[in-house]
Structure 1
Amino acid sequence: MHAFDVLGDPVRRRILELLAEGERSSGDVTEVIRAEFGISQPAVSQHLRVLRDNGFATVRPDGARRLYAVDDTALREADAWLGRFRRFWQPHLAAMATEVARGKRQRRLASEGNEQ
């Protein structure tokens, strides 16, 4: 399965977001995903398995619990693939950063002028 096939699913993306905050038990992940998506525990387990089998998550036993964490292997591969396309959006992001900085500077100068 290609990285973007795995990440194309909103449930798996949300699970990765949760794991990016730090290691979580399968029960914790299931609780959040069930509340947000209304899917069953077996369905959450299947999504966790897809993430694990495709290099996006790791799992380790901790007593009776299973703790999941982000595995950056597949994320690095996806980032490398996207690298070929960065030239299309990088200049736009740099221009936006310049405009944001310019706006902050103008607000700061205006604020300093109002204080005098």
Structure 2
Amino acid sequence: MSKNNQLRDVFDAIADPTRRRLIRLLAETEEKPLHELTAQFSMGRTAVSKHLNVLKEAGLVLERKVGRETRFRLNAAPLKEIQDWVAFYGKFWSANMLRLNQLLEEEEI
């Protein structure tokens, strides 16, 4: 569990392509109601709600009630954990590619 006391691991939450698509849709706008999100998928409202619940448990999605409608918005802060993880391996690959480049240059001489 991460520092902000999330119920679900952020990596687990983004592992599913449907949830990654939901994140993208929510990133494109301030907030969206459930029926607009559901219209973007070939699945029912209940299935989309289940995916949104996984994202909420990971802290990636926030919701608010507006009358009878539930609106969802992205909370991108937990994605920093993923960015940090990828950045670490980015340094690893950069260093290895530099070494490979040096090795190839030495072989050309």
Tell me if TM exceeds 0.5: yes
Unmatched tracts of structure 1, length 5 or more: 93-116
Greater Cα shift, 46-55 or 68-77: 68-77
Q: Is the 8 A contact 2:34 2:45 kept in 1?
A: no
Instruction: State which structure, 1 or 2, has the greater radius of gyration over its C-alpha atoms.
Output: 1
1:90 Cα shift? Answer: 5.5
Aligned to 2:44: 40
Paired residue total: 88
Q: Does 1:16 align with 2:11?
A: no
Q: Residues 60-85 of structure 1, C-alpha deviation per residue, up to 9 Å, x if partnerless?
A: 11111111111012211211222211
Specify which structure has the bigger relative contact order, considering alpha-carbon pairs within 8 angstroms and separated by 6 or more residues.
2
Give 1 or 2: higher helix fraction: 1
Cα RMSD of the aligned pairs, angstroms, is 1.8
Q: Which runs of 5+ in 2 are unaligned?
A: 1-7, 98-109
What displacement does 1:89 show?
A: 5.0
SS in 2 for 1:39: coil
| Deviation, structure 1 residue 59 | 0.6
* TM-score, scaled to structure 2: 0.71
Identity of aligned residues (%): 32
Q: How far off its partner does 1:88 sit? A: 3.9
